[in-house]
Amino acid sequence: KIVVIGGVAGGASAAARLRRLDENAEILLLQSGPDVSFASCGMPYYIGGEITDRNKMAVQTPSSLRARLNIDVRVNTLVDKIDVEAKTVNAKNERTGETLHESYDHLILAVGAKPFK
């Protein structure tokens, strides 16, 4: 079982590549926001008006990753604890309040970055 934390460009690409390498792997993708596989580098073009449809920056959707690649995608889910010794992650769906406690064999961190002053 492979857990990928972060589902924008890096995490979604890693999960898709893992699926191509092993069609039987159990892959769980945890994304804190509502979007996955999002081309955030296109944001200046969206703000500048060159791209008028925000959805055109999404390469995949949670449902397309599930349907096409058999990846278990959980959006709006914030990981709040990683126990590397027990190989578990705890997370909470920020919309529903549902909590998750998932074990893993391999963990990929692809959480990106946030600007700071």
Q: What's the pLDDT tens digit per position in 18-60?
A: 999 999 999 999 999 888 866 666 677 778 888 787 666 666 7
The answer to pTM > 0.95 is no
| In a domain? residue 99 | yes
| In a domain? residue 115 | no
| In a domain? residue 116 | no
CATH of the domain at 76: 3.50.50.60
Number of domains the chain contains: 1
b/e burial code for range 92-103 (CB count within 10 A of at least 16 → b): beeeeeeebebe
| In a domain? residue 8 | yes
Calpha distance 29→5 (Å, rounded): 6
Per the annotation, the verdict on 41 as an active-site residue is yes
| In a domain? residue 62 | yes
Q: What is the pLDDT of residue 70?
A: 96
| In a domain? residue 93 | yes
* Domain around 42: 2-109
Annotated active-site residue in 21, 23, 24, 41: 41
